[in-house]
Amino acid sequence: MQIVAIIVFVLTLAASTVTLAVRTGLAENKTCYGDGTGVSTGISLSFDLYFMTCPQVEDIVRSVVEQAVASDPRMAASLLRLHFHDCFVNGCDGSVLLDDNTNFVGEKTAGPNLNSLRGFEVIDSIKSEIEQACPQTVSCADVLAIAARDSVVLSGGPTWQVELGRKDSRSASLTTANKNLPAPTSNVPTLIQKFQNLGLSTQDMVALSGAHTIGKARCSSFSSRLSSNGDVEFIQSLQQLCSGSNGTLAHLDLSTPATFDNQYYINLLSGDGLLPSDQVLASGPSEVLNMVQAYAIDPVLFFEDFTTSVIRMGRLASSTGTGTDGEVRKNCRVMN
């Protein structure tokens, strides 16, 4: 604890400079909305799309998410992750929710998703209620975006207005999921490149990585940490936890596991990041390290930047889920 206190004290001296740099970087790319490659699609989203056609949509989503998280606090992280993994594969088009069919193998069995993604039944419940209230009006992709926001809020994190108007895809891509989604063993250059491939910045990558302040991961996803250098006590606790099975679950943030806060970044500076792809941020280039340090000492800055980045990510679109090529699914698991 003394070491952490010293680190925080030293970082505070440079906080204003780092914070200004991070905010300046943020201001440079507020309107990015593309097809997954940074190219504008011309598709517009709005905050009040369902004001007349389905005014109760956000109340329905919030109610179901509240019940799910009350029953299983981990569900908040799972629903947030569904939105991330949807947007990273051909844009935010609900493709991650599709089951396999005779025409394609869906994304649920991709390496980063298999035995990992969960919460599909919660989305099913939300969609069922919405279809009763407003048939074929609200897309599954929009449901994911709203549920992600509500999951963050219920975990003590920030709120934001969700932009709406996405369409659901009529296909899914196992290949693209395996290609686009970052692996838990990714290094910093790989993480930066995967985000840049989607038109997202390095700052977006660092801010959105903070979503790992809630949730759990299997021992198999951080096995390399069991023999790595770092906080000896932390590594030994992981070794003991994982001694029984690679399928054992560990909290991504041992300190405040169910609270959406900036503890994730404090953990990284102490060497207590769970996933290899998390811990590498603390030893990355100065641009990345400066952001980690800024978020570790300024939770307000993290909340502000996270919301901006998650909104930006939510604008990612593709030809399979927008305009005339998309639809509003009645059942999120299958095409109409």
85 is catalytic: yes
Phi-psi region of 291 (alpha: psi -120 to 50; beta: other; left: phi over 0): alpha
Q: Which residues are annotated as a binding site?
A: 86, 89, 91, 93, 95, 107, 182, 212-213, 253, 256, 261
Q: Which residues are annotated as a binding site for Ca(2+)?
A: 86, 89, 91, 93, 95, 107, 213, 253, 256, 261
Tally Cβ neighbours within 10 Å of residue 179.
13
**Distance spanning both ends of the chain, measured CA to CA:** 56
Q: Which residues are annotated as a binding site for heme b?
A: 212
Longest dimension (CA), the chain: 60
| Residue type (1 letter), 233 | E
316 burial class (0-12, 13-18, 19+ CB within 10 angstroms)? buried
Task: Tell me if 54 sits within 8 A of 48, measured CB to CB.
Answer: no
Contacts of 160 (CB under 8 A, 6+ apart): 149, 307, 310, 311
Cα→Cα distances 278→105, 141, 151, 174, 289, Å: 30, 27, 21, 24, 12
Indicate which residue of 81, 83, 85, 170 is catalytic: 85
Q: Which residues are annotated as a binding site for substrate?
A: 182
Which tokens go with 9? 């004290």
Task: Tell me if 316 sits within 8 A of 91, measured CB to CB.
Answer: yes
Label residues 22-44 b or e (16+ Cβ within 10 Å = b): beebbeebeebbbbbeeeebebe
Which residues are the active-site residues? Answer: 85
